[in-house]
Amino acid sequence: MVRTERSKVMVNGIWKNLPLHLQGNRVTVNAQGDALVLQTDFKLSIFYLRSGAIQVIVPSQYSNRICGMCGNFNHETEDDFKIPDGYLVQDTHVLGQSMCGEPTLLSVCTDAEEQKYASEVYCGILTSRQGLFSTCSSVLNADSFFRSCMFDMCTTHGDPAALCNAIEAFSATCDKVGISVLAWRNTTFCPVACGPHSHYNSCTSGCPKTCSSQDATGSCGICEERCECDDGFMLSGGACVLAEDCGCWANGQHYLIRETFMEGECEQQCQCLGNGKIQCSPTSCKTDEVCMVKDGVLGCFPSSPVTCSAYGDPHYITFDGKAYSFWGTCNYTIAKTCGATDTQFTITARNEGQNNSATSSLNSVALDMEGLHIVIGKNKQVYANGGQVRLPAKFGSSVSVFQSGPYAQVNTNFGLRLLFGNARLFVQVDERYRGVLCGLCGTYSGSQFDDFLTPEGNTVANPHEFARSWKTNDSDWTCSNGSPDPPECHPDLEDDAYTKCSELFEDAFKECHWFVPPQIYVSSCVSDYCISKGDKAQLCTSLEDYVSACEIAEVFLPDWRNHTLCFADPLPTEDPTPTPSAASCPWSCDFDQDECDWEQLIQDSFDWTRWSGSTPSNFTGPAGDHTTGSGYYMYIEGDSVFYGDSARIMSPVCHTTGKQCLSFWFHMYGMANAMLLNLYIFENNRASKIWSRTNNQGNSWYQGQVEIKPQHPFQIIIEGIRGSNPRSDVSIDDVSIMHGACDHLSAEDLDLTTLAPHPSTPNLNDPHPNCSMNCDFESDICSWTQMVTDVFDWTRHKGSTPTSMTGPSSDHTTGSGFYMYIEGDSAVHGDTARLLSAECADPQPQCLQVWYHMYGSSWTMGLSVYLLQYGNVAKEVWRMREDQGNMWHLARVDLRPDVKFQVIFEGRRGSSARSDVAIDDVSLHRGACSDLPNQVAPPSVPLPPAATMPQPAPIQTAEIPNTSASCGISCDFDRDICAWTQLATDVFDWTRHRGSTPTSMSGPSSDHTTGSGFYMYIEGDSAVHGDTARLLSAECADPQPQCLQFWYHMYGSSWTMGLSVYLLQYGNVAKEVWRMREDQGNMWHLARVDLRPDVKFQVIFEGRRGSSARSDVAIDDVSLHRGACSEITFSDTYGNSDSIRENNMMKSNEEVAKKESWKARDDKITARQRRSLLFRERSRA
C-alpha cells in the first residue's frame, strides 16, 4: 500500500485496483475515506491513512506471538523494545534500525525523472537556499521531507497532488515551530478547493462561526491558512450553511437538516429537524431484514444466509466453512444462540451407530425455542411438544414445517431454516446471528479460528475433543463418543477410493464447482468408501452428498448419475401420447389448496406469498384471484423489500418432451418502474428465459402462453422483481402445461419465443494468408486456446446465457449459432478469463475485428485486447468497461507488431453475477483499420419489454460534415457558458473551470478545445454519493432529426459516477437518450447522440457524483447539427480532426505502455506437491 495512492495496491509486485478480494475473500482491501483498509478472515485489520499513520488491529489469539515495531502484545509494555536477536534496547532509533527491511516496491523512477523531480520546480523547493522555505529549512532538516516527496513523485509518476501534499506537510511543520512561511499556493499551483459558500484565506485569524460547539474545527490561531465561510454562513458538520440550515449531532455523528438515521438496535428512526433538534419515532426491521452497519450506515438491510451441514459418517462443515469428522453416537448440540438475540433457539441431533461398526450417522434432529419442541425423525415424521403432526404444519406466525423434496423443512420468520432427510442436515441462519452462535456448527464469526469453541469458552484444536464437549444429557439414548482417530484404510483401497471419489472433479459436477468446492466432499467420500470396504452403494451416497449440497446452493445436476458409476436406467424419452385437454405435468396449479409442490428457491432475496383477496398495499396488486375471484394466487409484496430484489419459485420436474404449451395468468398493476415478471425453463442445468413482462400492465388479469420444446426433464422457474417503489405487486395464477401448440400467442410472446436470426457478417477481405485467427465459433474455438494463468475460462455457448438480465440472447453470426462468453456467475469480482490466439508470423500493421456484447448491471465488468510479443510481453491495446446495452457492437483495433505475435482476449467479471461478456466473429486483416470499408451493426434481436433504456449508438468510423442547426446549443465554454443554464431542481451545480480539477487522480488536466481554455465539470468533492448536477440548453425550435456532438472526460476511481443526456420536450418531459458510467480513462472522448424531437426541445446534461470524491466528470465543445449522425460529414467546429474509431476507448498512451508478463509455472515440484496441485487444478476445471 502506497500512502499517496488511494485507488490501487501492489500485490506480489503487480498493481491491483480497489476494491480487492484475494484468496476467496480471505483478504480484502478497500478505500474508506482517507484510509486504505486491509482486513482478513482471521480478524487482522490494517488502516493506512494518507497522513502516513498506520493502525494495526490483531485478534487476542496472537497475544505474545508477534514481534515488530508494534511490540509483542503480551500485555507488558516493559519488553516492547525487544529486537530480533532477543536483546532489549532503550533507544527507539536502534529498535527501528533493527526492524528495517528491504523495500518491497519496485523502482519506478528513471534517472531523467529523478533529476526532474529533484529540481527546485518540484521537490527541490523544500531544500533550496533561496526558495520560499529557505528560512525554515535553515532551522529544520528538510531532508526527510525531500526524500518522501521524491518517493511519492516517483511512485505516482509526477502526480501534482503528491508534490502538494509534501509541501503542505513541511509547511505545517514549519508553522508548528513558529516559523512563518510565505504564501506558496496560487490559483494554479496547489490551489485549495473550498466547498460551497466558502473561500480560501491564506492568513485568517480567530475562530470561525459555528452552529454549535461540536462544529468547531479547533483552529483558532493567528494567521492560519484555511477555508472560511462566506458572510452570512457558518460551519455545520464541516460545511458552510445558513443559520436556518444548521444540522444536528448525535453520538458523535453529524446529520444534515431533514436527514434521517437509525438509533440503537434499529428500534428508533430519527430525523434532524435543524439547529440540534432531533425527532425520533419507534420502528423495527422487517422479518427478512437485519439491523447492522453497512457502508458506515446503521440500518435495516436484507439478510444473507449461511449454511452449516452434517452428512455421511457424519461429517460436518461449519457456518464459516471448517470441515471435520466425528464418530460419536450421542445427542449433540448442532447450533444454539450463545449471545443476545431476539429469539433464542437450540438445535440438537442424535447420532446412531451403523452395523455394529465404529461409524455413525444422523438419526433425528430437534429444535427447541420459546416453549416449542420440534423433533424430525430419519423417516421424516415430525413431532411437536411430544405429539406427531401432519405436514404442512404451522406454529403461530413464526414457524412452519413442510415436506420439501427429500427433506422435512422448518422455516421461521427470525432468520433460521433447517432441512433434514436421508441422514443429511442443513442449517441456515442469516446475518443477525453473526458472532452469537456456538455448537458443532461453529461460531459464525467470519473466521474458522474460533469454530472449535467449547461450552466452557475455550478454543481447542482437536475435533474429537471439541465435538464431545457438546454432548447433551439424554438418558433415553445409549451412546459413546466414538474413537478420536479415523479407521485405518489399506493403501490400495485408499487409492481406489481416491480414484472413484475424484469423479466429483469431472464434468458431470463441473457446474457446481464454483458454488460448492468439491475438495471437502472428495475427502469425506474417501473416508466413507474406506469404512464401507469399497461398497458401491456407499460411493453413490457420497457423490449424492455433494449433489445435495449443490441443490441447497441452487445448482441442480439432474444427469450426474448417467456419467458416473452410479448410472441407472434413464427415463423414457419418447413423447407420450398427446392429450391436449389434460395437463401433461403433475404441477398444474390454481394455488387454491396449496402450492402444488412448487418450491421457493433459497438463494433469492425474498419469497412469493400465497394470498387471497386484495394485497396489503394500496393501488397495486389484484383484488382477488383469477380462478374464482375468492380463491388463492401467488404474488410478491413490493412493500417488504428493496428495488431490484427478486423472488423465485421452481416447479417440480416434468419428464415430458416435445412441443408443449405453458399457460398462466398474470397481474401486474402498480406505479413502480422496472417491476418485472420473468419465466425460465431449467433444462440440463441451464436456465433460459422464455417469457418476460415489465412495468404496469393495468388492473386486470392477463393470460400468458409460451411454447417450449424440451428434450430432457425440465422445470419452470417464475421470477418476480420488485420495482422502484412499493407499488410493485406482481401476481400469477392458474399455471398449467399442455401437449401441443398454444392456442394463441401475442406479438409480445412471439418476440420472446421466436428470435429472428442475424444476417451473416460480410467478409471484409480475403482470409489472412499467414495467420489463423478468424473464427465464428460455430464448429469449435478454431486455433484459440484457454490460458492457464487466469482464474476461470471462456465458454462456447449458443442461445441465452444462464444468468438473467445479462449476456446475449443469441450469437452475432446467424442468430442461432455459437459464441464465446464469460459466465459472471462462476467467478468473483475482478476475476479474469483469457483466450489466446495462434501465433501470427506477419509483423506489419494489422486490423483486428471483433463483435462484442456487454450487457448487465454489474459495474467494472470489462473486455480487454492484448498484443502479446516476445513470448511474454503483453500490451493492452483496447478495452471496454461497463454495460454497453443489449446488442452486439463492432470493435476494430489497430495492431502494430514488431515481431511475430499473438492476441489475447481478457474478460473481467464485475461486481455481480450480471457480468456476462461475449465475443463473436473474430477476424484479422492486413493493413490499418481505416483502410477497411465501413460496416454497420445488423439489426439487433427484438428486446423484451424490460429493456426500455435507450443505449448509446456505437460511434461510426465514417466522417460526417458540419451542418449546424439553427439553435444556440453549440459552446466551447471558453468565454462563458453561452446559452446554457444551471437547473435549480438538482442538488449541486456544474462548474466552469480551466486546468486540472482540485481533486487528485480525477478529472481532466486541461480543456479539449485548445488545452488552455475552459470546460464544464462536476466537482465530486462538493457532493455526496448519488447527487446530480444538471445543465440545461436554450430551447431549439427545429423539430427534426439532429446530431448532438460533445467531448466528455470521465476519469476517477469512484464507481457509479456518470454522465447522462436527456431530451426535454413539452416543457417537462425528459427522456434519457445517452449515458456513460464509471471510469473511462484519463482522456477526452467524443460522443454523438441522435435526437429525434417531435416539437421544440431542449437538452440536459446530467452529471452524477459516484461513491467517492474521485468523481469529476467534464464536458467540452458541445455542438448540434441538423440530420442523423450517420448521414452527415463532420468537420470539427473547433478545428480538431475527427480520428475516432471503434476502438476509441483505448487507454491513454501511458496506460497502454504498461506491460504484463505471465510466467510459466516452476516445474521443479515434488511428487506430493504435484498431487496437491492436480487436486486443486481438477477442482477448478
CATH class, domain 599-746, is: mainly beta
Mean of the per-residue pLDDT values for the chain? 81
Report CA dihedral (504, 509, 511, 516) to the nearest 10 degrees. Answer: -40
315-468: CATH number:
3.40.1000
What percent of the residues of the chain are helix, what percent strand, and what percent coil, each to the nearest 5?
Answer: 15, 30, 55
Q: Please give the CATH topology (third level) of the domain spanning 785-931.
A: Jelly Rolls (2.60.120)
What CA–CA distances, in Å, run from 493 to 201, 278, 1172? 82, 72, 19
- Map grid coordinates 500485555 to a residue: 75
CB 592 within 8 Å of CB 631 = yes
Strands (DSSP E) along 740-845, which ranges? Answer: 785-786, 795-798, 818-822, 832-836
- What's the pLDDT band for 639 if we cut at 50, 70, 90? confident
Q: Please give the CATH topology (third level) of the domain spanning 198-246.
A: Laminin (2.10.25)
Give the C-alpha separation, 890 to 854, whole Å.
Answer: 12
pLDDT in tens, 766-818: 334 448 889 999 988 998 988 866 778 899 999 998 888 888 989 998 888 99
pLDDT score for 317? 96
The mean-pLDDT minimum among 272-281, 286-295, 575-584 falls in 575-584
Give the C-alpha separation, 1142 to 764, whole Å.
Answer: 16
- Map grid coordinates 533561496 to a residue: 130
Multiple choice CATH, 981-1140, 1.10.1040.10, 2.60.120.200, 2.40.50.140, 3.30.565.10: 2.60.120.200
Residue 1172 pLDDT greater than 60, yes or no: no
pLDDT in tens, 122-174: 999 999 988 888 889 888 888 888 988 998 888 888 888 888 888 888 888 88
Q: What is the mean pLDDT of residues 462-479?
A: 90
* Nine-digit cell string for 129: 537556499
Closest of 296, 335, 507 to residue 433, by C-alpha: 335
100: Cα separation from own chain's centroid:
39
pLDDT in tens, 192-207: 888 899 988 877 777 8
Closest of 1115, 1125, 1129, 1131 to residue 978, by C-alpha: 1115
Could you tell me what percent of the chain has a pLDDT over 70? 83
Give the C-alpha separation, 1079 to 1099, whole Å.
Answer: 24
pLDDT in tens, 33-90: 567 889 998 889 898 876 577 888 888 788 888 888 888 887 777 788 888 877 787 7
Closest of 1145, 1055, 1061, 1067 to residue 1106, by C-alpha: 1055
- Contacts of residue 596, Cβ cutoff 8 Å, sequence gap at least 6: 587, 588, 589
Closest of 434, 651, 409, 671 to residue 552, by C-alpha: 409
Query: Number of C-alpha atoms within 13 angstroms, CB side, residue 336?
Result: 19
pLDDT score for 932? 65
- What's the pLDDT band for 1138 if we cut at 50, 70, 90? very low
* Nine-digit cell string for 1062: 436527456
DSSP states of 473-542: --TT-------SSPPP--HHHHHHHHHHHGGGGSGGGGGGTTTS-SHHHHHHHHHHHHHTTS-HHHHHHH
Residue 413 pLDDT greater than 90, yes or no: no
**For residue 118, which amino acid is it?**
A
Give the C-alpha separation, 527 to 516, whole Å.
Answer: 19
- Map grid coordinates 516452476 to a residue: 1162
- Contacts of residue 94, Cβ cutoff 8 Å, sequence gap at least 6: 83
CB 464 within 8 Å of CB 326 = yes
* Nine-digit cell string for 459: 478454543
pLDDT score for 620? 87
Per DSSP, the chain holds a count of helices (H) and strands (E) of: 12, 64
Residues making up the chain, counted from first to last: 1181
Ramachandran angles phi, psi of 951, nearest 5°? -115, 150
580: Cα separation from own chain's centroid:
46
Enumerate the domain spans of the chain. Answer: 111-176, 198-246, 315-468, 491-563, 599-746, 785-931, 981-1140
Q: What is the mean pLDDT of residues 1176-1180?
A: 39
Is there a shared CATH topology between the 599-746 domain and the 981-1140 domain?
Answer: yes
Residue 1011 pLDDT greater than 90, yes or no: no
Closest of 370, 371, 391, 369 to residue 382, by C-alpha: 391
In DSSP terms, 281 is beta-bridged to: 269
Query: Number of C-alpha atoms within 13 angstroms, CB side, residue 485?
Result: 3
- Map grid coordinates 482471521 to a residue: 42
- Helix axis angle, 519-531 to 536-552, nearest 10°: 150
User: What's the CA angle centered on 513, arms 512 and 517, to 5 degrees?
Assistant: 120
In DSSP terms, 849 is beta-bridged to: 892, 923
Ramachandran angles phi, psi of 521, nearest 5°? -75, -30
Closest of 894, 783, 895, 901 to residue 842, by C-alpha: 901
Give the C-alpha separation, 448 to 466, whole Å.
Answer: 14
- Map grid coordinates 423414457 to a residue: 572
Q: What is the mean pLDDT of residues 928-955?
A: 41
Give the C-alpha separation, 154 to 107, whole Å.
Answer: 8
556 or 287, greater pLDDT: 556
Give the C-alpha separation, 58 to 44, whole Å.
Answer: 5
Report CA dihedral (1064, 1068, 1072, 1074) to the nearest 10 degrees. Answer: 30
CB 357 within 8 Å of CB 326 = no
- Contacts of residue 810, Cβ cutoff 8 Å, sequence gap at least 6: 755, 757, 758, 798, 799, 800, 816, 817, 941
- Map grid coordinates 432529426 to a residue: 1041
In DSSP terms, 1043 is beta-bridged to: 1090, 1121
CB 720 within 8 Å of CB 646 = yes
In DSSP terms, 347 is beta-bridged to: 335, 367
Largest CA distance in the chain: 100
- Contacts of residue 1171, Cβ cutoff 8 Å, sequence gap at least 6: none
pLDDT score for 953? 32
- Contacts of residue 445, Cβ cutoff 8 Å, sequence gap at least 6: 320, 434, 435
* Rg from Cα positions in the chain: 33
pLDDT in tens, 812-837: 988 889 999 998 777 777 788 899 99
DSSP states of 293-353: EETTEEEEEE---EEEEEETTTEEE-TT--EEE----SEEEEEEE-S--SS--EEEEEEEE
Whole-prediction pTM: 0.39
DSSP states of 396-445: TTTEEEEEETTEEEEEESSSEEEEEETTEEEEEE-GGGTTSEESTT---S
CB 105 within 8 Å of CB 2 = yes
